[in-house]
Amino acid sequence: MMPYAEVIGDPISQSKSPLIHGFWLEALGISGRYQASHVRPEDLPSFIEGRRSDPAWRGCNVTIPHKQAILPLLDEIDARAKSVGAVNTVWRDPAGIVRGTNTDVDGVAEAIAGADIAGRPVVVIGAGGAARAAFAVLAQSEASEVRVLARTIDKAVQAAGECGLSAKVLPFDGDAQAFDDAALVINATQLGMTGQSPMPSFVLDGLARAARDALVFDMVYAPLETALLATARSGALACSDGLVMLVGQAATAFERFFGAAPPREKDAALRGILLA
Ligand code: NAP
């Protein structure tokens, strides 16, 4: 009986998770598989019930639209998933307990590891699900101020509060001063993504007001080189792209599923596969 894990969502064909986990399984010579499973919202409860009784199942990654809906279907949710309000990784522990966590938090932490934010301001654009993972990381940081640029102010105030972050929520209204002296800028919106609206020019212009050693992290990974990152690079700012987060969140999930650390020394080869 070959152990397996999977990613579930609706739609699911776009997911890069099978490529990532499949690469690591092969590199480590683990006899296991990782698949994509299309699960519609109305089928989620029966799907999880069925997986509970499958001894080969190790767990699943969870993507849109199930990240919140799955919470009541699990036995235990850890503190970070509770504060983020979303589960992206489900696994069964040796005692048979089906647990939920949020490894997007690990992905964000990895993507911003190069930023020196202690005692300095940080800017986050957006306040949706992915921004919440950033809020959870920043709530544990020593940043002097976290400025959240949000289209929907109330939602941003609530999201930051639920993630334990004391944030300064600002309207997404074209004021580039929000970027003054920022040591870290995070885009947690779809802006700049293929098929979505472009990143507004006030944000691109605002990067010139950030600190000279600032790190700019764009969660978007299609395209990988967004206008935000291209502008940051042209201003000699450090950059972190969406694949860093994607691979980072997968790494801790992989350990839970297959009990082994992924071969991160092969990240360059993995990125090549993901970009092919
Ligand atoms: P989400 O929950 O829908 O949140 C999107 C956020 O962007 C919301 O705060 C939304 O504002 C804001 N927004 C959208 N369009 C906007 C606009 N035109 N002007 C101003 N704000 C706008 O989506 P999500 O799941 O957080 O995903 C956000 C991005 O992160 C996506 O590009 C996704 O691909 C990426 N992501 C990447 C990774 C990774 O591993 N690299 C992981 C997760 C997500 P409102 O609140 O007003 O709607």
Q: What is the mean pLDDT of each run of 10 residues along the chain (276 residues)?
A: 96 96 98 98 98 96 95 97 95 95 98 98 96 97 98 96 96 93 98 96 98 98 96 98 98 97 98 94
Phi and psi at residue 135, to the nearest 5°: -60, -40
- At 85, list the tokens: 């309000």
Does the pTM surpass 0.85? The reply is yes
For the Cβ of 84 lying below 6 angstroms from any atom of ligand 1, the answer is no
Q: Is 29 left (phi over 0), alpha (psi -120 to 50) or beta?
A: left
For the Cβ of 100 lying below 6 angstroms from any atom of ligand 1, the answer is no
For the Cβ of 262 lying below 6 angstroms from any atom of ligand 1, the answer is no
Cα 125 to averaged position of ligand 1 atoms, centre (Å): 9
The residue whose two tokens read 């990782």 is 34
**Going by CA atoms, what residue is nearest to atom 42 of ligand 1?**
130
Q: Which residues pair with 77 in a beta bridge?
A: 100
pLDDT at 155: 95
For residues 85 and 57, the answer to whether their CB atoms sit within 8 Å is: no
Q: ω before 11 within 30° of 0 (cis)?
A: yes
Measure the CA–CA gap between 157 and 150, rounded to whole angstroms: 9
